[in-house]
Amino acid sequence: MKRIAGIAVAMTLGFTGATQAQSLNLAMCGASPGGLWSLVGAGLDAAVKEQVPGSTITYQSSSGGLANVVQVKKGVCQLGMANDGDLIYAVNGTEPFKEPVKGLKAISVLYDWAPVWWIARKDFADEYGIENLQDLADAKPPVRLVFNRRGLLTSAISEETLKAVGVSLDDIEEWGGSVQFQASGEQTELMRDGRVDMLANTLFEGHRSLGEMADAVDLKLIEVPDGAAEAVIEEFQLKPWTLQPGSVPGQTEPVKTVTTSIILFADESMSEETAYEITKAMIDHPDSMAAVSNAMKRFTPKGMVDQGAIPFHAGAIKAYKEAGLM
């Protein structure tokens, strides 16, 4: 009897060990160090540690989503962060990709509340009667415009939005205006110093740069017309968004625009178990994700599945179905 009992205990222990997930040691490619993406990486690390003790998700800095697609395919990182539009470019083989990138799989939407803001100096907008981008196209003013850096999704969305209302960058120069491509910090300084009339950038609501600009100059939000919004939503798999009254001081009406999503992705070679555990970690420990920044307080498991840029990994699908999210 003792021998039989010993065998039963051994079998029980063996079964428990077989079903307990092994610790994960993975690298995640993000963007610059110290930015929101690095904080999201810290949140993912905390969530995975809660789910699978002894695990580590190591954040690696990068130049952004387009580069992360390459890094994940090369195996430099097992996980990557990218905008939805970055992934659309990759799977379609749009420049800078020379051919379609195959085998990219989504793990989760990390956030989808980084809308594209079109912000003008109020005196400029009032002078030319500009409430939306179609008004800009009709008025043809000598606008000094600044987009985010070339090669980033934000600048591509901004340029395509103008094209959707019939305006090219050459048109702006013909009007006597100009177009610059600058990082967010430089954009803020240019607006504060009165060296530009309008900017376009993805920002979180309440971002500190909005207050910094508003302290120096009266601002006006410029709306994206429905047709232009529909065009870029289709091209980049974006979502509609409405900036609420008070988003900048003096703004009394809601303003329609579009928003981008940041997606955590992997290569199809990632094991189903690994993808499952990463996804389940975020589902079961959303507080770890939400606690890293005020910008992430909106994080909920329900929003993790709201994307159509690339197919979900089989392991992620398993976790979502178990949680009733798919």
* 189: number of Cβ within 10 Å: 16
Whether the per-residue pLDDT at 4 is higher than 50: the answer is no
Of the chain, the percentage scoring pLDDT greater than 90 comes to 82
3-class DSSP state of 310:
coil
The gap from C-alpha 226 to its chain's centroid, in whole angstroms, comes to 22
pLDDT, mean of residues 162-190: 95
- Sort strands 144-147 and 219-221 into parallel, antiparallel or unpaired: unpaired
275 token code pair: 């993808």
Nearest to 299 by CA among 200, 198, 204, 165: 204
Domain ranges of the chain: 25-112+261-322, 114-260
The answer to whether 199 and 185 have CB atoms below 8 angstroms apart is no
Query: Distance between alpha carbon 311 and the CA centroid of its chain, in Å?
Result: 17
Report the C-alpha gap between 144 and 197 in whole angstroms: 5
What is the predicted pLDDT for the residue at 20?
57
Question: Which residues have a Cβ under 8 Å from the Cβ of 36 and sit 6 or more positions away?
Answer: 204, 293, 295, 296
Peptide bond into 96 cis (omega under 30): yes
pLDDT of residue 153: 85
Whether 15 has a pLDDT exceeding 80, the answer reads no
How remote is the C-alpha of 177 from its chain's centroid? 30
Nearest to 212 by CA among 251, 175, 169, 249: 249
Q: Which region among 69-73, 129-133, 203-207, 311-315 has the lowest average model confidence (pLDDT)?
A: 203-207
| Of the listed ranges 8-12, 80-84, 121-125, 281-285, the one predicted with least confidence | 8-12
Four-way CATH pick for 114-260: 3.40.190.10, 3.40.50.300, 3.40.50.1220, 3.30.565.10? 3.40.190.10
Question: Which residues in 150-162 are b (16+ Cβ under 10 Å) and which e?
Answer: eebbbbbbbbebb
pLDDT tier, 64 (very low <50, low <70, confident <90, very high otherwise): confident
- Per-residue pLDDT, averaged over 153-169, amounts to 95
Flag the least confident range among 4-18, 187-201, 224-238: 4-18
Write down the pLDDT at residue 147: 95
Contact in structure between 40 and 81 (CB atoms under 8 Å): yes
Q: Half-sphere exposure (CA, 13 Å, Cβ side) for 240?
A: 13
> Does the structure show a pLDDT above 80 at 12?
no
| pLDDT value for 205 | 86
Q: Do domains 25-112+261-322 and 114-260 have the same CATH topology?
A: yes
What is the reported pTM?
0.83
Tell me if residue 323 falls in helix, strand or coil: coil
Average confidence score pLDDT of the chain: 91
Mean pLDDT score, 133-138: 98
Lowest mean pLDDT among 23-32, 148-157, 307-316: 148-157
CA count, 13 A, side-chain hemisphere, 212: 13
Q: What's the CATH architecture for 25-112+261-322?
A: 3-Layer(aba) Sandwich (3.40)
Average pLDDT over residues 112-134: 96
Tell me: pLDDT of 1 over 70. Answer: no
